[in-house]
Chains A and B, each alone.
Chain A
């Protein structure tokens, strides 16, 4: 249903006519996020510049029952920012100011449109950084990070966005504004910050964020270990975790991605390796030295045939360049790929990686593995050619991989979010009853259901009447016969 003229004029009056997009060609810029398979052209895009603007916009949407979705840089990988046809996109691109840098408190206050990397850039010279570092950190925004509870390679040690947000200004779908937290930690009462961070834009719109800054470590050491097989590399990861060493990152790449990365970025990874581990340690010098020695010993024990340490910043950058170019490099191997984001307990890595290999053979499609091994977060890339009619087989393979993760006691998604992409898979991890409780929480924030509808929680309209088979939740299965 087209939006009324009066509604459009009202939004123009709020944000200025030049900040309301209504032309079809311009609207198409917003038709999808990083999950390009889901598209819908919004009816209207509005670019507010203040909390008050956002408040007025969502109030109008609520009054007219027009669904809306907040949007940052649109780099999300689960369709969390996919618009609703007939709905409004609230782009926070203009709200991109750093409002306050308070190094004495180790905090920064920003608007949601500030790019992730710009937070670190603003304080790097003073010896601080912002820890969450999703791969898209050059462009992805803090608002989007808050919505998705973004992680990144270094969240193994430093935690996720939820560990680094200490305060929010939050606009509820009915326009009420709530100030939560601040620069001090642990506000009284239920952890509303914890509920909002990672809620994928379904509970309201964040318009101001207070972030924790972390002191730059004394030293950083990056190690690269080449293994003959994924199994051996997986065993090394389990060994490092079990030994109590806490690297800031442990990344793994398999043969397929190594070859692709080598062609794309020439990082000089060990020739002929079936798997490579990239391990980064940071902190005080003595600790890093001791931990590095331990990591080298474990890798050698697990059969690493080559272990290298980056000896300069340039070396280190090159090792990471290979890892960071891996996704793009896969684009040269296959015309299409589908990325999964499943998580497994770290002790189950070798077993699940073997299972993925079997599934890949059974389905006759290649799977590249490049992932955050230290926290068990897999990113299997299912390679296929949509032109050759492989799409359906690729989807089946991707789902079988997800089932393998859940069977091992893991999760559907470690950092990309549920969004539209995995909403219909939620019944594989949560019972109908769990999902109804999620709905109740959502209703408390958004009783009329206009805030980013169709995301996170499956609906019959979205998924058909038959959800996938429910698999016992990891917390239910533990140790006891009872079924929660």
Chain B
């Protein structure tokens, strides 16, 4: 399987496919494993720029050496390109957002081989169209991602996890959200458990853990429940979105699921039924027709 090791090689491969009117399946006909360099990490700026084939674990290890991280913890160990293309997130989504929230810029190769830069490498920037966000969740349909810049965070000095067994997860979540504690992660392992994670200074996580124990009970735990949460997310057969305030209704109809209540997302053990077409699909088709007129990157 041909692996590209530079944007130019990717550009040549896509341009050739475009000329021939061929489809090119990323991950099958072409892989980005050779794009495996961490190009820049300036700890003082809390930003980094990496190539798309770098594995998330590899990036996290390099960042950890300077006490920093990319605050994304999806299950598995995706490449940076896949991370963006799937807009994949894990429990830390609660506080830090999804890849689309942390990406600062990207270099892309369009279906016709055109290489384009969008965004930048600074934490604040509104110049030009935000193509780096646009490709998040695109599943590779609009462009091949070859490099990206991210906003980073310091590794927390301390963390605490509280697990609460409950038959009223919605009530418990509502109580926590009306309090002034600021968890980094808040998951419902449906049915029956709520996980809360605090990160920050020693005193801050102690105080918040104590506040939660007093508010809603529960026990302190190690990180094992988070591993379980990610494993169950990875094994999920479906994904549902719901209005966050309607958590009770959403849970009522669910079997086993990992639920991120403030995002309004549930990863379900059972297959979810596709209902409506994706809103905006017609618009996505129009964008694809402009960026990839011959459908080289079409699914």
Contact = CB atoms under 8 A, between A and B. Distances in A.
A128 B213 CA distance: 24
B282 A176 contact: yes
A415 interface: yes
Interface in A284-299: 284-287, 289-291
Interface residues of A, number: 100
B121 A475 contact: yes
A323 interface: no
A314 interface: no
A189 B44 contact: no
B129 A184 contact: no
B244 A183 contact: yes
B116 A190 contact: no
Nearest to A479: B39
B117 to A, nearest CB: 5
A285 B182 CA distance: 11
Contacts of A182: 241, 243
A444 to B, nearest CB: 4
Contact of A443 (B101, B125, B149, B290): B290
Contacts of A244: 67-68, 153-155
A186 B142 contact: no
A409 B121 contact: yes
B202 to A, nearest CB: 8
A25 interface: no
A185 B264 contact: yes
Given A104-B174, A192-B134, A482-B7, A376 B181 contact: no
Contacts of B60: none
Contacts of A291: 201
Contacts of B287: 190, 441, 444-445
Contact of A107 (B93, B115, B142, B244): B244
B183 to A, nearest CB: 10
B207 interface: yes
Contacts of A443: 290
A417 B127 CA distance: 6
A197 interface: yes
A430 B116 CA distance: 9
A285 B206 CA distance: 12
Contact of B87 (A180, A191, A242, A417): A191
A242 B43 contact: yes
Interface string A142-167: 00000011010001000110110000
Contact of B120 (A436, A442, A475): A475
A440 B291 contact: yes
Interface in A461-484: 473-476, 478-480, 482, 484
A426 interface: yes
A244 B134 CA distance: 29
A417 B124 CA distance: 11
Nearest to B242: A184
A413 B281 CA distance: 31
A183 B120 contact: no
Given A180-B280, A286-B204, A484-B7, A344 B134 contact: no
A297 to B, nearest CB: 14
A345 B45 contact: yes
A347 interface: yes
A187 interface: yes
A415 B287 CA distance: 26
A411 B133 contact: no
Contacts of A149: 126, 130
A191 B134 contact: yes
Interface in B199-226: 200-201, 203-204, 206-208
B47 interface: yes
B78 interface: no
Contact of B207 (A190, A286, A345, A346): A286
A478 B282 contact: no
B100 interface: yes
Interface in A254-303: 283-287, 289-291
Nearest to B88: A186
A195 B287 CA distance: 11
A321 to B, nearest CB: 24
A284 to B, nearest CB: 6
Contacts of B291: 437, 440-441, 444
A93 interface: no
A185 B266 CA distance: 11
A437 B131 contact: yes
Nearest to B110: A437
Contact of B44 (A242, A415, A480): A242
A59 B80 CA distance: 41
B76 interface: no
A83 B150 CA distance: 36
Interface of A: 102-107, 127, 148-149, 151, 155, 159-160, 162-163, 172, 176, 178-180, 182-192, 194-195, 197-199, 215-218, 238, 241-244, 246, 283-287, 289-291, 343-347, 372, 375-377, 409-418, 422, 426, 429-431, 433-438, 440-445, 456, 473-476, 478-480, 482, 484
Top 7 nearest A-B pairs (CB, nearest first) are A244-B154, A194-B133, A104-B245, A184-B264, A105-B245, A287-B204, A184-B241
6 contacts: A105-B244, A178-B280, A289-B203, A434-B116, A456-B129, A479-B49
Interface of B: 6-8, 37, 39-40, 42-47, 49, 67-68, 87, 89, 93, 97-98, 100-101, 105-108, 110, 114-131, 133-139, 141-142, 147, 149, 153-155, 174, 177-178, 180-182, 200-201, 203-204, 206-208, 241-246, 262-265, 278-284, 286-287, 289-291
